[in-house]
Amino acid sequence: MSLSDLTPAERHRQVAGEFSARVLGVKDWDAPTPVDGWRARDVVRHLVEWLPGFLAGGSDVRLPAVPDAGDDPAGAWQQHAAAVQAVLDDPGTPSRTLRNPHIGDVPLDQAIDRFYTSDVFMHTWDLARATGQDDRLDPEFAGGLLGGMEPMEEIIRSSGQYGPRVAVPDDAGVQDRLLGFIGRDPSWTP
């Protein structure tokens, strides 16, 4: 079954599992990443720090505190990923709502899936590339993300969450096109 066919809980389990494998493979948490100014630990820090505020600001979900990702990136990630998975595995989560002035009312599981799980998926490349690990992303899911984001490019760029688009060859594969869209140079190396 492809990532696109999974429920939000199943998709997070698989995507977070892939990211966890990269976390466990990191030998140098100070390795530079494709995100300008970030080190490997900053990729984890970003993922564990933005979601709790997003959820608390629009729902009754309060994720538990995790270790500081600067000091213990692997521990922070493992605890955070488990807490998010517990929320998604709760049978009541799909009937809960996240309210946000920018996106409106969205079922909680879909909001986590659309904004967070997709972010974990894309940042898997950053961590893998920075630390010399397998950086291949699921091409079907990458294509779906790219197809969903391209029509909203102006809004996405104005959010400040993505850098300028990086040009890639016309015949580039879907992973490279997605990476270029989100402001990554697919040929970046440490």
* One domain, residues 44 and 96: yes
CATH for 102: 1.20.120.450
Residue 77 binned pLDDT confidence (cut-offs 50, 70, 90) = very high
Per-residue pLDDT tens digits for 7-16: 999 999 999 9
* One domain, residues 132 and 152: no
* One domain, residues 24 and 81: yes
Q: How far apart are CA 76 and CA 47, in angstroms?
A: 10
Query: Is 2 domain-assigned?
Result: no
Q: How far apart are CA 147 and CA 165, in angstroms?
A: 15
* One domain, residues 145 and 128: no
* One domain, residues 163 and 70: no
pTM as predicted: 0.94
| Coil vs helix vs strand at 90 | coil
Per-residue pLDDT tens digits for 106-134: 999 999 999 999 999 999 999 999 999 99
Provide the domain limits for residue 38: 7-136
Number of independent structural domains in the chain: 2
Task: Indicate if the pLDDT at residue 186 is higher than 90.
Answer: yes
Query: Is 94 domain-assigned?
Result: yes
88 token code pair: 């998604």
CB 100 within 8 A of CB 74: no
Query: Is 1 domain-assigned?
Result: no
> What pLDDT, on the 0 to 100 scale, is given for residue 33?
97
> What pLDDT, on the 0 to 100 scale, is given for residue 171?
95
